[in-house]
Amino acid sequence: MQGPNPNNPYPMAGFPQVCYLKNVVQNPQIEVGDYSYYDDPDGAENFERNVLYLFPFIGDKLVIGKFCALARGVKFIMNGANHPLSGLSTYPFWIFGGGWENSMPPKSELPFKGDTRVGNDVWIGYDALIMPGVNIGNGAIISSRAVVTRDVPAYSVVGGNPAAVIKMRFEPEQIARLEALRWWDWPVDKITARLPHIVAGDIDALGRDS
């Protein structure tokens, strides 16, 4: 049993608002793993419009792992959004020209928080906002309308503005086992065979059978 085809942009027959993102994303600064989907009745294939201030001259990346579920309105703010904070003014004089163009600080002085990384098996709720440079661990849940400003631990549930850990999904020892098993990297027929354990939350059985 091979499951759905990860290369099919619209894996749910008759329901094109759900889109396997890796098949529609064109910007080379965005990478998405197999089976990760975006759900949006306004055109899930237009996901790139949710990745804001992503500029080639900055070169930062948004990397999303496998088996992630991205709800409608999820937005990623990238490094190009941040004005320099080190001067007396945050106004970007240089973008307007007229003799002001030379005031642009060197690229090394522009704020840069690094790439944004979303792990595997991450669920990001409705209208969540992810700030630049954030790393979201495997198995995390981002609540609806969360504003994520800091890294998110694996298998945590975070929410609010700024997002804070609401709870952990499993015990530390169970999380370590899940991180070691990395079921999302298994061959798909093995994932298919183990789905009852994955869906039921039976970590002991998943580990025993793997």
- Which 135-164 residues touch ligand COA, going by CB under 6 A? 141, 143-146, 157, 159-160
CB of 159 to ligand COA, least distance (A): 3
CB of 60 to ligand COA, least distance (A): 26
Q: DSSP for 126-188, please give it.
A: TT-EE-TT-EE-TT-EE-TT-EE-S-B-TTEEEETTTTEEEEESS-HHHHHHHHHH-GGGS-H
d(CA 141, CA 138): 9
Residue choice 166, 176, 195, 200 for contact with ligand COA (CB under 6 A): 166
Cβ proximity to ligand COA, 38 vs 183, nearer residue:
38
Cβ proximity to ligand COA, 126 vs 170, nearer residue:
126
CB of 188 to ligand COA, least distance (A): 23
- Active-site annotation holder among 15, 27, 83, 100: 83
CB of 2 to ligand COA, least distance (A): 25
d(CA 197, CA 207): 9
The answer to the question of residue 95 lying near ligand COA (CB under 6 A) is no
Number of residues that bind ligand COA (CB under 6 A): 13
Distance of CA 33 to the CA centre of its chain: 10
3-state secondary structure (DSSP) of residue 73: coil
- Specify whether 83 is catalytic: yes
The answer to the question of residue 71 lying near ligand COA (CB under 6 A) is yes
Listed residue (130, 165, 136) closest to 149, CA to CA: 130
- Residue 8: both structure tokens together: 């099919």
d(CA 199, CA 124): 18
Q: Where on the chain is the footprint of ligand COA (CB under 6 A)?
A: 69, 71, 125-126, 141, 143-146, 157, 159-160, 166
- Which residues are known to be catalytic? 83
